Structure 1
Amino acid sequence: MRSTSSRPPARSASGSPATPTPSAKSSSAAPRTTRSKRKRSSPMATHSHAEGGASVFDHRHDYFDIGHPGDVGAEQRQGQVAFRLFGTLLGGALVANAYLCDWLLPGSGAVGDLSAALGALLLAAPLLWHAARDLTAGELRMDELAALGILAALSLGQYRTAGIVAFLLLMSMLIQQRSALGARAAIEQLLRLTPATAQLIEADGTERTVQATELRPGQRIRIRPGDNIAADGIIRSGQTTINEATVTGESVPADKAEGDQVFAGTSNLTGVVEVEVTRTGADTTLGHVRKLITDAERTRIPLMRIIDQHSQWYTPTMLMIVALIFFFTRDPNRAISALVLVCPCAFILATPTAMVAGLSAAARLGILIKNVQDLETAGRVNAVVFDKTGTLTTGDLAVTRLQPAAGVAPEELLRVAASVEHSSNHPVAKAVVAVAREARLALAQVQGFEEVAGRGVRGRLDGAEVLVGRATWLAERGIDLASLSTPELRPPDNLSTLYVARAGQAIGWIGLEDTPRPEAVHAVRELRSLGIARILILTGDRPAVAEKIATELGCTDFQAECLPQAKLKAVRGLRDSGYFVAVVGDGVNDAPALAAGDVSVAMGAAGSDVAINSANIALMSNDLRRLPFLLRLSAKTRTLVLQNLVFGLIFMIGGLAFAGFGWMTPIIAALLHNVSSFIVIFNSARLVRMGEELAPHEAHPH
């Protein structure tokens, strides 16, 4: 951020207070440099874990593959699953009919055998077909193990056993896929909150209904109470209250007035407003949310990549073990039971179920995680670096004092500074321009505008060069600030100060103030309770300003007057000292520091492409309490992943031993196979409800 030496309510030269100013929020900035080069896999199916090649741990089940968002709608896939469920139930009914015939017609074994054979073939067909297809393609997956066991039972004439095993496996797959589809359908339903039509306002003021896809930036739409908003935009007329929970995760509606931003998919609750469209379709904030969720689902944690490197040996190894069991026992039922039990369903579901549950819990609170690796690693953070302005503070800088040099009118000082700052998107610039507009000053056209990161801005106004920024920067440019250093003109230590020079002469300074976020103290305290060893505040402000904010937040570790390079150096220094560092900023002018962190978090990303793209994790709201929740969620996710993996491993080893000693039948093996999968799924599902107690902060600004 382009902090100033100090910046403040405005006073004239005589010290009279100036008009209070509106606050300004940061919204755009330079793009972030690439933080890391992580591979991203393109999954082949529902729970794909392969990265570059097929793996036995690709939990695909092609027959029930539900794909990923954006492929085919989840609701359409639900219809396909319903059709397949009918086929599975029909096959199960035929197998059950075989047992019924044996009971009611003891002498008609052929009828029961025929019914069992038909049912077994109907149930086994999809598994055998896709296993054969994978083998002809040179791929080995978990389906082959189950298919081989079923094929062995069929070849031995054990139609009832083959049918029941296939039925149980298919029902398990169906339930898993139906559960995944339900979660995905919920996401798609959330994203479809963007209405199909909108009320377009024509140039003559008339209104007509158009498709939302026909909207273009610059057009105006009218939104009435109860309507969902069709596009991102800016309110140009009217006031209202909008429920933005779908974007920010905040359950408290936000009051909106002229000039405020609104988002597609949010709900208008009260007034009638006219909105100028800025972004439509996939370019909206909600469209970006969908893409981030989809991309996150396709990523994998390092642990699964390690497993994949060795997974190619899994199927051959298991087949050798099963062959040894059959060789020493000569019991086909033991071999079939072993084949069913070594299908690594519980093991391969261990990670994706926990990660998807964690992503869902985070997304519900407006926390967008771009890569599941970041969800897994955030729990390792033991040092947090905050960029002060816009993160720990509201970023709503207010001009609280104007101090012109001798012979310069306060209005002239403000006009000159605002004219140059008008071309900048920095919060300081917005605050200065806002107070100038409030004072109804006419801003002049500036030539040769240039913004120097972390220092200030310059340009030519009425033929003279104007510099607006840090005192040190102006001094480096040869500006003498001695005339502003007298006791009467010197700025107070607790103000952020913006110095202004024209034609080589200092013409005054502008003081600004910022306030800490109301939930910041609680968030910092909670971070310490989580064991965060270092909390460092970085700011470009003067030491007195930085110390004031740090004291209010209960922090003693801060660095003032930091240029972007100094912030980057501070982050690297922590990492070199052995800390696992999370960097939290607003994604505006802190891109280098964000890029240097092990985990980077951008605050207030709703409506800001720069903020969303500037970090690995984006908090759509400005509620700092989301940060400690994220760390708790990560730690809990890692714990559940390890629990699931250990359980899956123990189940496979124990099941193999039980099957080898003949302590279970193939049917019991299939039942236990299903039970193990559901234990993993339900264990992971505990994550989904995390954070429900995290209500919006009462004083949280909208």
Structure 2
Amino acid sequence: MIAHINHHKNHITALASILIISGFIFGFVGNGELKDIALISATILASIPIFIKAIQALRMKAFSIDLLVSIAVLGALYIGEYTESSIVTFLFLFGDYLEMRTLEKTRSSLRELVDMAPQEATVLRADGKTEIIPVEDVVEGDRVVIHPGGKIPVDGKIMTGKASINEAAITGESVPASKAINDKVFSGTILDNGYIEMIAERVGDDTTFAKIIELVEEAQESKSKAEKFLDKFANIYTPAVVVLAIIVYLFTKDLHLAITFLVIACPGALVIGAPVSNVAGIGNGAKNGVLIKGGEIMDKFSEVDTLVFDKTGTLTKGKPEVTDIHVFNKADKDTLLGLVAKAETISEHHLGQTIVKAAQDRDMDLASMELSDGEAIKGNGIKAVVNNRKIVAGNRKLMKNENISLSSATEHYAVNREKAGNSAIFIAVDGKIDGIISIADQIRDDAKRALTQMRENGIKKIVMLTGDNKHTAEAVATELGLDEFHAELLPEDKVEYVKKLKESGHIVAMAGDGINDAPAIATADIGLAMGEGGTDISMETADVVLMADKLMQFSHAYSLAKATTKNMKQNIFIAVGVVAILLTGVLMGSVHLASGMFIHEASVLIVILNAMRLIRFNRKNMQPVKEPAAVPLKA
């Protein structure tokens, strides 16, 4: 019964409005009796959903706005103010309707994401025939076919073909990305042109797109500090209003004034103002490829004054290339590269994977090599036995720990490569240095612009922490104008540095690639991960995830957090200000029940419309601009 009434609340509101108009018409033609019948009928009809919610709140031992309105309506009926009782109930229901409609708009980003979810998949079977099946029936290992204009139904890897893919649903980036064999593709993205066949690797709720929707839903339900405070405040404020209304009556003996005071003091705009800002801000982030995990994180993010960055994959593109292979002791370059590449297959680090790729580009048969006793040493390198030869590849610390000495010629060559902006990887075979592999990366195109914007928005200090050598780190720090840099750090060293910054009073945001930097990301006040399509660890560890790996998204997220917090404060100020003015007007006799209720509901709508501005926030700054050429670290 209750659900049925709530389902037809809009119809009840419309019917109440017709009865009120009819009552006014009867009054205009001089039929007072029919006027009262129409207005009382409108009051009773519109009161039903209000009374139901008030009773439900009482059962939960809560004083709700519906309870205040119910008391006021009963009082108005008692003193024969049928016009005001009917208008108050109608305005309350109509205000509720407007709130629902406008709140729905603030959730439009999430709804658009849900609408983008693919429903069907075309699967290639073993007999060579294709079958269209519901997307939830796709299993790992299925070969999925996508034609031009089709949505990619699951996460996976391209096996055949190439295509231009619109990844806006995942990254917020409107420019299509070119994809070819072995490239990763994600559920919810759209194939603009081309043709691909892919192997399903993540299906159902495990896809990146499904996780994004889940995270945004959870974030929009998560409350900010302001919301939590207002919830507690409303629980005290609402019963206090009842007490104050009674006091007003005891002093004035004017029941009409007390009832008016009761209705006008309803904290509707105050209660709705913070949540709607929170929802709109998080929705804006999701639409622009930024996942901010809740209102409390939005609050904290807006207070950040210090940024800490990892280098590789964060300030740089994370797509380094082998620029030189230098050998000692008459070692063979291809043999050395093959041995190291096989050893590096156990590593997830950018530099290790770069060496593997370099070997694959030379068509080396790594599968035929025998790998045993492999160990990846975080922040230093790897140790392994390949084809019965002991391989140690990494930095100076690893060589020292393994008691492998560096000659002056080796050290001289390495330093020169590092000063030129390369990472020098020392390669030891059976206990002696046989070569140095030089790897260079590029600074991200948008790094300078993003860091400049964040400084303008209130960031006071920018620091880079890296496991790379000090010469390469200095080259990046100088190019980007960073305040500090610290090189040759282990993951635990980064954690300690972040702790020291926090202890000295800084509010710290740490940005990293979500793998080696996970401990430091978790330690910072705000952990931010460069998502790379949404890796599991980045989504789980970080408070903020950048789905397109663009630092301009970081700048957008920071300014959005500040704007959302400011918007919440504006809404609270509007709500409190309107209630204060109305209550003053009530006590002075210049504001009456119906007009006060109208202004009250208008204030609710104003705070919602104010919050909705966040949906379009900073859209101009997020548009792609012509960037200067990428800044390479000299090879």
Give the TM-score range, shorter chain. over 0.9
Residue pair 1:351, 1:644 contacting (<8 A) in 2 also = yes
For residue 549 of structure 1, the aligned residue among 472, 476, 487 is 476
1:458 aligns with 383
1:253 is the counterpart of 2:190: no
Distance 1:652 1:488 in 2: 74
2:633 aligns with none
1:322 aligns with 245
Residue pair 2:461, 2:483 contacting (<8 A) in 1 also = no
Aligned-partner residue type, residue 453 of structure 1 = K
| Structure 1 residues 257 and 149, CA gap change in structure 2 (3 angstroms) | same
Distance 2:416 2:182 in 1: 33
- Residue 333 of structure 1 deviates from its aligned partner by 2.0
- Residue 463 of structure 1 deviates from its aligned partner by 3.1
| Structure 1 residues 433 and 409, CA gap change in structure 2 (3 angstroms) | same
Distance 1:576 1:487 in 2: 39
* 1:513-535 CA-partner distances (Å, limit 9, x unpaired): 01101111111222222232211
2:576 aligns with 649
Superposed, 1:102-251 pairs within 5 Å as: 102-104=27-29, 106=30, 108-184=31-107, 187-251=110-174
- Residue 483 of structure 1 deviates from its aligned partner by 7.8
For residue 482 of structure 1, the aligned residue among 407, 429, 435 is 407
2:363 aligns with 440
- Give the TM-score taking structure 1 as reference length: 0.85
Residue pair 1:192, 1:265 contacting (<8 A) in 2 also = no
Distance 1:489 1:654 in 2: 73
SS of alignment partner, residue 235 of structure 1:
strand
- Residue 159 of structure 1 deviates from its aligned partner by 2.6
Stretch of structure 1 that moved more, 677-686 or 166-175: 677-686
- Residue 332 of structure 1 deviates from its aligned partner by 2.2
| Structure 1 residues 80 and 316, CA gap change in structure 2 (3 angstroms) | closer
2:186 aligns with 263
SS of alignment partner, residue 226 of structure 1:
coil
Residue pair 1:519, 1:697 contacting (<8 A) in 2 also = no
SS of alignment partner, residue 233 of structure 1:
strand
2:224 aligns with 301
Distance 1:378 1:636 in 2: 11
1:586 aligns with 513
- Residue 165 of structure 1 deviates from its aligned partner by 0.5
1:470 aligns with 395
RMSD of the TM alignment (CA)? 2.2
Aligned-partner residue type, residue 376 of structure 1 = D
Aligned-partner residue type, residue 446 of structure 1 = L
Identity of counterpart residues, as a percentage? 30
Residue pair 1:191, 1:286 contacting (<8 A) in 2 also = no
| Structure 1 residues 118 and 451, CA gap change in structure 2 (3 angstroms) | same
Distance 1:184 1:676 in 2: 20
Stretch of structure 1 that moved more, 657-666 or 79-88: 79-88
Stretch of structure 1 that moved more, 90-99 or 382-391: 90-99
Aligned-partner residue type, residue 292 of structure 1 = L
- Residue 222 of structure 1 deviates from its aligned partner by 0.8
1:29 aligns with none
Distance 1:619 1:605 in 2: 8
Distance 2:452 2:114 in 1: 35
1:666 aligns with 593
1:84 is the counterpart of 2:4: no
* 1:100-148 CA-partner distances (Å, limit 9, x unpaired): 11222x2x43222222221111001111122123223322222111111
SS of alignment partner, residue 143 of structure 1:
helix
Distance 2:332 2:386 in 1: 17
| Structure 1 residues 381 and 349, CA gap change in structure 2 (3 angstroms) | same
2:354 aligns with 431
- Residue 506 of structure 1 deviates from its aligned partner by 2.4
1:636 is the counterpart of 2:563: yes
* 1:413-447 CA-partner distances (Å, limit 9, x unpaired): 11110111112221111111111111122221312
For residue 423 of structure 2, the aligned residue among 496, 518, 521 is 496
SS of alignment partner, residue 62 of structure 2:
coil
Stretch of structure 1 that moved more, 574-583 or 117-126: 574-583
Distance 1:260 1:528 in 2: 36
Distance 1:192 1:215 in 2: 19
| Structure 1 residues 544 and 661, CA gap change in structure 2 (3 angstroms) | same
- Residue 696 of structure 1 deviates from its aligned partner by 2.6
| Structure 1 residues 118 and 690, CA gap change in structure 2 (3 angstroms) | same
- Residue 253 of structure 1 deviates from its aligned partner by 1.0
| Structure 1 residues 545 and 603, CA gap change in structure 2 (3 angstroms) | same
Q: Which has the higher contact order (CA 8 A, sep 6+)?
A: 1
Stretch of structure 1 that moved more, 129-138 or 255-264: 129-138
- Residue 698 of structure 1 deviates from its aligned partner by 4.2
Residue pair 1:194, 1:231 contacting (<8 A) in 2 also = no
Aligned-partner residue type, residue 425 of structure 1 = E
- Residue 304 of structure 1 deviates from its aligned partner by 3.1
- Residue 175 of structure 1 deviates from its aligned partner by 0.9
Distance 2:545 2:180 in 1: 25
1:361 is the counterpart of 2:279: no
Stretch of structure 1 that moved more, 393-402 or 589-598: 589-598
1:53 aligns with none
* 1:216-244 CA-partner distances (Å, limit 9, x unpaired): 11111111111111111111111111111
SS of alignment partner, residue 654 of structure 1:
helix
Distance 2:321 2:551 in 1: 21
Distance 1:316 1:489 in 2: 74
For residue 566 of structure 1, the aligned residue among 493, 505, 524 is 493
Residue pair 1:421, 1:433 contacting (<8 A) in 2 also = yes
SS of alignment partner, residue 551 of structure 2:
coil
Residue pair 2:106, 2:615 contacting (<8 A) in 1 also = no
Count of paired positions: 624
1:50 aligns with none
Distance 1:133 1:492 in 2: 73
| Structure 1 residues 126 and 486, CA gap change in structure 2 (3 angstroms) | closer
Distance 1:97 1:590 in 2: 69
Aligned-partner residue type, residue 479 of structure 1 = I
- Residue 616 of structure 1 deviates from its aligned partner by 0.3
Distance 1:528 1:653 in 2: 38
1:677 is the counterpart of 2:604: yes
Residue pair 1:92, 1:123 contacting (<8 A) in 2 also = no
| Higher helix fraction (1 or 2) | 2
Stretch of structure 1 that moved more, 164-173 or 371-380: 371-380
Aligned-partner residue type, residue 414 of structure 1 = L
Aligned-partner residue type, residue 546 of structure 1 = A
Stretch of structure 1 that moved more, 525-534 or 408-417: 525-534
| Structure 1 residues 656 and 232, CA gap change in structure 2 (3 angstroms) | same
1:383 aligns with 306
1:372 is the counterpart of 2:295: yes
Residue pair 2:423, 2:439 contacting (<8 A) in 1 also = yes
